Amino acid sequence: MEVKIDKAILALVQGDITDEETDAIVNAANEGLRGGAGVDGAIHSAGGPAIMAECRKIGYCPTGQAVITTGGNLRARYVIHTVGPVYRGGTKGEEALLRSAYKESLKLASEKGLKSISFPAISAGVYGYPLAEAARVALTAAIDYLREHDDITMVRFVLYNRGTYDAFSGALKKLIG
Ligand code: AR6
């Protein structure tokens, strides 16, 4: 599914984010940038050790913030590592932190002069964020950013399985009416 937000394209696809050819892909990392399971593990194993070498130098990324490294052996030139919140019932500022993770990633891409970026469903795996809510927050953050900035021309959400794709497409249909 694909929609236009001003001059930019917002696309939802089902697939593996390590295959993406956008300027950057986003990793759902942890604060210690130590690597892990899920999309984090997939990105480090496909991208090779150069990514972890830069993560070690950076050392830390607070929840809701983002840092950037090489894309190593990936097709994407850069990996933007962001840290979504662990979901603890929804009353611990999770929504603002998740929104911030997307916004800070987009800001970093803009600062680097990048035009295209791919996101996974941040916090929607190990970190336990309810899928429909995670989708609404993610899409709202991207749409708001694209309406306020005109440098990024393509935002892709690369959803790993059918259930995640359906949650995002359901949320997008509601948001754009
Ligand atoms: N491409 C796209 N999406 C993927 C891929 C892939 N190759 N693999 C998994 N997903 P998660 P989180 C989806 O758990 O919830 C790690 O250990 C997955 O189906 O990767 O933010 C980190 O080190 C889900 O929809 O990230 C952190 O400690 C989404 O990616 C912690 O997990 C996010 O799931 C972060 O947890």
Q: Write the CATH number for 31.
A: 3.40.220.10
Find the 41 Cα to ligand 1 centroid distance in Å: 8
Q: How confident is the model at residue 81 (pLDDT cuts 50, 70, 90)?
A: very high
State mean pLDDT over 84-101. 98
Please give all residues whose beta carbon lies within 6 A of any atom in ligand 1, as ranges: 16-18, 28-30, 36-40, 42, 84, 120-127, 158, 160, 164
**Residue 164 CA: which ligand 1 atom is closest?**
25
- The set of residues, in sequence order, having a beta carbon less than 8 Å from that of 91 and lying 6+ positions away, is none
Please say whether the beta carbons of 64 and 83 come within 8 A.
Answer: yes
What is the arithmetic mean of pLDDT over 80-100? 98
What is the Å distance from ligand 1's center to 126 Cα? 7
Residue 105's identity, in one-letter code, is S
Mean pLDDT of 85-112: 98
Among residues 47, 52, 81, 50, the alpha carbon closest in space to that of 67 is found at 81
Is 90 exceeded by the pLDDT of residue 177?
Answer: no
In contact, 12 and 168? CB cutoff 8 Å: yes
Active site residue 144: no
Domain count, the chain: 1
What is the Å distance from ligand 1's center to 40 Cα? 6
pLDDT for 171 equals 98
- Label residue 86 by pLDDT band (50, 70, 90): very high
* pLDDT-derived band at 19, boundaries 50, 70, 90: very high
Residues of the chain with pLDDT > 90: what percent?
99
The DSSP element (H or E) to which 69 belongs, if any, is strand 66-70
Nearest alpha carbon to residue 105 among 23, 36, 43 = 23
Query: Where in the sequence is the domain holding 25, given as residue range(s)?
Result: 2-176
DSSP bridge pairs for 69: 79
Catalytic residue among 40, 144, 150, 151: 40
Q: Would you state the pLDDT for residue 77?
A: 98
Confidence of residue 113 (pLDDT cuts 50, 70, 90): very high
Q: Where are the beta strands (DSSP E) in the chain?
A: 2-5, 8-14, 24-28, 66-70, 78-82, 116-119, 154-159
Q: Best of 12, 39, 45, 100 to mutate for ligand 1, by most ligand atoms within 8 A of CB? A: 39
pLDDT digits (tens, 9 = 90+) for 24-67: 999 999 999 999 999 999 999 999 999 999 999 999 999 999 99
Which atom from ligand 1 is nearest to the alpha carbon of 129? 15
Rounded to an integer, the average pLDDT of 79-88 is 98
User: Residue 102 Cα, ligand 1 centroid: separation in angstroms?
Assistant: 14
